[in-house]
A and B are shown apart, each in its own frame.
Chain A
Amino acid sequence: MRSTWPGRTAVTLVAAATTILVIGWARTPNPLASMPEGEFWERKFTAPQSDIVFAGDSRVGIGISPAAVEATAGLSCLNYAFTSVGYSGEYVAAIRDHVRPSGVIVLGISPWTLTPRSLLDNGFKGLSALPRRSPRLARAALDWRLRFQSTMKALNTAVMDEAHFGTTLHLDGWMEVHAESSDPKKALSLYAQNFDDNPVSDELVSRVMGSVRDWSRQDILVLGFRPPATLDMVSLENRKGAFDEAAFVRRFKDAGGVWLDIPLEYDTYDGSHLLAASAQRLSHEIGRAIRGRQRR
């Protein structure tokens, strides 16, 4: 046992606690993050019902600003998209639970959301698996106080040359992304890997169509769109994911949904996810389409 001096343990523990509290409470919050990440996902997961609910994976999460949709459509809106999510039975049921009667559901259809692997591990599933009894919102807020930002993000900023990249997390579920520079080919290799032996599943497509049919019968307006990405990305997804968009759109319309053709004229930072300005533009565009439909 090593030499020591009296009170060493107490002094060290008090010093550690003081340092943690001082750093935690006196720090300048990350100006790019308006909300702690844990709280952001918790609030989204447990959000109340809205008139318009957007669903899909991170492309919708980053690409749709509910505030912009609300401003254009004049209805309350929620971005209920989760990272890497697929249209599982649980997710589809949760989407329905979050929309008000006679509301609008807007499904972001990226091929990934229709693949079997998207059901295995995703942001929605992770939140669903957490125990329900703990006061998670309070804990999320405390977590934030005791954490500068997530370790990965901190090190990405420090090490991975992503200093000019930042996110603002909004209460309505939008993850706003700013980046001073973009690399439209950045996400291609990851997506190529995502679709390795993982093409779009007929079963999942049928599930989506069944939900569209059910919701339409329940007087819910169901819209669908393919979140914009680069042409290279769309081609890769169609090819490797064996996704026949035209056939999907036909079935979607037959099921009672309304398909929105979104042009590929929006700016992404990685070839897959929209920059904030493009996300605002897309949101207004879809808001206008919803307003047009509501008036009919």
Chain B
Amino acid sequence: MTFNSLPFLVFATIFFTIWPLMRRNDQTRWGFLTFASFIFYGWWDWRYTLLLAANGFLDYGVGRLMETLPRQKKRLLITSIMANVGTLAAFKYTGFLAQITNAVLTPATGMSVPVIALALPIGISFYTFHSMSYVIDVYRDDVKPTHSVLHFFAYLTMFPHLVAGPIIRGAEMLPQLRHAVTPTEPQRWEGTSWIAYGFFKKMVIADNIAPVVNAAFGGAHPVKSLPYWWIVVILFAVQIYCDFSGYSDIACGLARWLGYEFPRNFNHPYIATSLRDFWTRWHISLSTWFRDYVYIPLGGRGDSARAWHMNMWITMLLSGLWHGAAWRFLVWGGLHALYRSLERISRWPERLAGTSVGRSVAMLLTLGQVLVAWVFFRAVDMPQALAVVSEMFNPAHMSWAPLAGLTQPVIAFVTLGVLREVLLAGRLGERVASLMDRWTPLEPVLIVAVLVATVFWRGEGNVFIYFQF
């Protein structure tokens, strides 16, 4: 079930009514959380719970074995990684790999391998990464393996983060789950605030923008207009940010209500002044996962600039592939790698950082690069992505006429999204927080308004974009 659905409202009401009774004892706390999370996950398709369970038992077992058979640690790690990556590859990349094989094989030999497209279990990319991080952390002695299978499953399947993150590591969550925490009123309030704004971002801003973006990318041939495509891509940038960060906010808020804490997943990414800065603000749990489990093991910064470029490129390309088995995701990752390479070589962010005008220019330059890359992320396929990008840079097509279809109130929702970001980012955000502190009824009134607006202004229901990954 998705957070923005009636079944979830019923599920959450029942869960949080029973939770205070179940959280006192370790076994009932972990058992209840696991049971509820399996219901939450099985709501999509109960058969996928078997895969989730198999994944969990394997990595729990590997963790235990690493403790009892320390000499076999490396072998066990390789087994777990191969099983996890193999499962992910089987469900997510089989079709893509077959297409690549055929592209090479067929022209030369006339033979082809069958293209099998398995249905992708929802959230597989997320829970596989949760699980892998646990095994790697146990291998590195960064976390002690848990001796309770329920404890492990409560962490792995915990419904707030299960299907679309944030990607939580065992080292962060397992110690928290050891304690029966009664959330304090400030924690409950913070959770409520996260949840209310998360729903607002998703259901009001992202869902009202979605039809315009879908229509733009739904055409067989891209509209021939430079301004049209820049505006559509800006709309998509706002949509995907509000969609995904909205989900993360709700997840963090639900964790708060449970008495736990998830790490922050977004930090106003569109005000980044370099691509390096952007990746410390966008999908932070994924970028830090790739940093700690791919980039650093590859050698990180290395001894030379060349090593850094190579390790960074591999990491970014893998990050692109993680999002989807298609060339356009690979190009999206590759574009970000290219941006970062150019950034490192030219050092343009540092050159612009000296003045406020320079920082504004750097922010716009960063945003422009991110927007171009988003085209590959959103397009239906590579030919469409290339056609759209060529329209974005074709000064011969300066027609504003296609924008007539966009002068809908969607602009109002984009403005809401941008205004919210501006109000909360930087010093202005601190002033807003201080105002809330001084006049305590203000925030509850705002939350009521946000929840009412979410119900009555919500767009047509869409699933969260990141569910497909």
Which residues of A are at the interface with B, using a C-beta cutoff of 8 A? 1-9, 11-13, 15-16, 19-20, 23-24, 116-117, 120-121, 139, 142, 146-148, 150-152, 154-156, 159-160, 189-190, 193, 196-198
Instruction: Verify B185–A2 contact, CB threshold 8 A.
Output: no
Contact B186 A189 (CB under 8 A): no
If A2-B436, A7-B185 touch, whether A155 touches B412 (CB-CB below 8 Å) is yes
Q: Which residues of A contact B447 (CB under 8 A)?
A: 12, 16
CB distance from A180 to the nearest CB of B (A): 21
Q: How many contacts A-B (CB < 8 Å)?
A: 105
Instruction: Point out the residues of chain B lying under 8 angstroms from A12, CB to CB.
Output: 192, 444, 447-448
3 closest residue pairs by CB, A with B: A155-B409, A197-B221, A16-B451
Structural contact, A121 and B215, CB atoms closer than 8 A: yes
A37: nearest residue on chain B (CB-CB)? Answer: B460
Tell me whether B104 is interfacial, beta carbon within 8 Å.
no
**B167 CB, nearest partner CB in chain A, Å:** 24
A13 to chain B, nearest CB (A): 7
- The reply on B425 being an interface residue by CB < 8 A is no
In the complex, chain A residues whose CB is within 8 Å of the CB of B456: 20, 23-24, 146-148
| Interfacial chain A residues near B276, Cβ < 8 Å | none
Q: List 24 A-B residue pairs with CB atoms under 8 Å apart, sorted by A's residue number.
A: A2-B186, A2-B433, A4-B185, A4-B186, A5-B185, A5-B440, A9-B185, A9-B191, A12-B444, A16-B451, A20-B456, A121-B218, A147-B455, A150-B460, A151-B409, A152-B408, A152-B410, A155-B412, A160-B409, A189-B404, A190-B404, A196-B223, A197-B220, A198-B221
Contact for B185 among A6, A142, A151, CB less than 8 A: A6
Q: Give the CA-CA distance A139 to B6 in the complex, in Å.
A: 9
The answer to whether B444 and A151 have CB atoms under 8 Å apart is no
Smallest beta-carbon distance A81→chain B, Å = 19
Chain B residues within 8 Å of chain A by Cβ, number = 43
Which residues of B, 440-460, contact A by the 8 Å Cβ criterion? 440, 443-444, 447-448, 451-452, 455-460
In the complex, what distance in Å separates the CA atom of A7 from the CA atom of B444? 11
CA–CA, A121 to B405, complex, Å? Answer: 16
Contact A23 B444, beta carbon cutoff 8 Å:
no
Question: Closest chain A residue to B457 by CB distance?
Answer: A151
Indicate if B350 sits at the interface (CB-CB under 8 A). Answer: no
Provide the residues of chain B in CB contact with A7, threshold 8 Å: 185
Could you tell me the distance between the alpha carbons of A20 and B82 in the complex, rounded to whole angstroms? 50
Besides A13-B192, A147-B455, 12 other A-B contacts (C-beta < 8 A): A2-B189, A2-B443, A9-B191, A15-B448, A19-B452, A121-B215, A147-B456, A152-B409, A155-B412, A159-B409, A193-B405, A198-B221
Per the bound structure, the CA–CA distance linking A160 and B406 in Å amounts to 12
User: B220–A198 contact, CB under 8 A?
Assistant: yes
- Is there contact, CB below 8 Å, between A16 and B448? yes
Decide yes or no: A8 and B444 within 8 Å by CB, A2-B437, A196-B224 being known contacts.
yes
Asked if A9 meets B192 with Cβ closer than 8 Å, knowing A151-B457, A160-B409, the reply is: yes
Of A16, A120, A159, A197, which is within 8 A of B218 by CB? A120
B214 CB-CB contact with A under 8 Å: yes
| B300 to A: closest C-beta gap in Å | 35
CA distance in complex: A139, B220 (Å): 33
Closest A residue to B211 using CB positions: A152
Min Cβ gap A33→B in Å is 15
Q: Which B residues between 181 and 233 are near A, CB-CB below 8 angstroms?
A: 185-192, 204, 208, 214-215, 218-221, 223-224
- State whether A1 and B6 are in contact (beta carbons under 8 Å apart), knowing that A155-B412, A156-B409 are contacts in the complex: no
Contact with A along B265-287 (1 / 0, CB 8 A): 00000000000000000000000
Assess A193 versus B223: contact at CB under 8 Å? Given A1-B190, A8-B189. Answer: yes
Query: CB-CB < 8 A to B220: which residues of A?
Result: 116-117, 120, 197-198
Chain B residues whose CB sits within 8 angstroms of the CB of A16 once the complex forms: 447-448, 451-452
Contact B405 A20 (CB under 8 A): no
The answer to whether A189 and B401 have CB atoms under 8 Å apart is: yes
Least CB distance from A257 to B in Å reads: 28
Bound CA–CA A149/B329 (angstroms): 38
Give chain B residues whose Cβ lies under 8 Å from the Cβ of A8.
185, 189, 444
A157 to chain B, nearest CB (A): 10
> Is B114's beta carbon under 8 Å from chain A?
no
Minimum Cβ distance to chain A for residue B272 (Å): 26
